[in-house]
A = this chain, B = another copy of it.
């Protein structure tokens, strides 16, 4: 079971590492951290990750995970990445995204006519890729699985593990990772329940970053 997790400069580390630490516990998981250019990857913070392989060397993964991050837009303009995504998707069991990783799937044309989600700040942009935006944390649309912002990649990967390897495997992984979350600030993590001024503040900050 070959699992390719795409890395690029400006990726948010948790978008990639949540699914990574879930999926690497699947039976016979063969996880590859892949990137367009071999070498160190700068995340959106001080941490650097090492991509083990180039995308060219992993042309036919069984599962593709595309994390998000501030670098997603630039990565979605790299023709090599888009060609790889399209070619890989022809053969995958599941092609997935976390957060703004949806921008890469969308630009590659993989979300046309697909129910999909993304980080709440950019979810409305899915329509521009021909997708139907859905306000759910994880959306399974046939072989395409998309998920909400950053931390939702963990939920996505557990759903994926259950679909691919069965519920018992996914349950064992959840127990290994002690995934029984207790968010300490009730309701803060969703724009539906967070303080309206915080939601408005983040929306304004995002609008400024795109203008």
Known: A167-B185, A178-B189. A172 touches B198 (CB 8 A): yes
Closest Cβ of chain B to A205, distance in Å, is 9
| Chain B minimum-CB-distance residue to A24 | B45
Counting chain B CB atoms within 10 Å of each CB, the highest count among A158, A193, A199 belongs to A158
**In the bound complex, do residue B155 and residue A184 qualify as a contact, i.e. CB atoms below 8 Å apart?**
yes
A60 at the interface (CB under 8 A from B): no
Q: Which residues of B contact A187 (CB under 8 A)?
A: 180
Interface residues in A127-171 (C-beta closer than 8 Å to B): 137-138, 148-152, 154-155, 158-159, 162, 167-168, 170-171
- Kindly report which residue of chain B lies nearest to residue A175, judged by CB atoms: B194
Other A-B pairs beyond A162-B185, A180-B190, 14, CB < 8 Å: A12-B21, A14-B17, A21-B45, A24-B45, A32-B46, A49-B49, A148-B178, A149-B178, A150-B177, A150-B178, A158-B184, A174-B189, A175-B191, A180-B189
- A residues apposed to B, CB below 8 Å: 12-14, 17-18, 20-21, 24, 31-33, 40, 45-50, 52, 99, 119-120, 137-138, 148-152, 154-155, 158-159, 162, 167-168, 170-172, 174-185, 187-191, 193-195, 198-199, 201-202
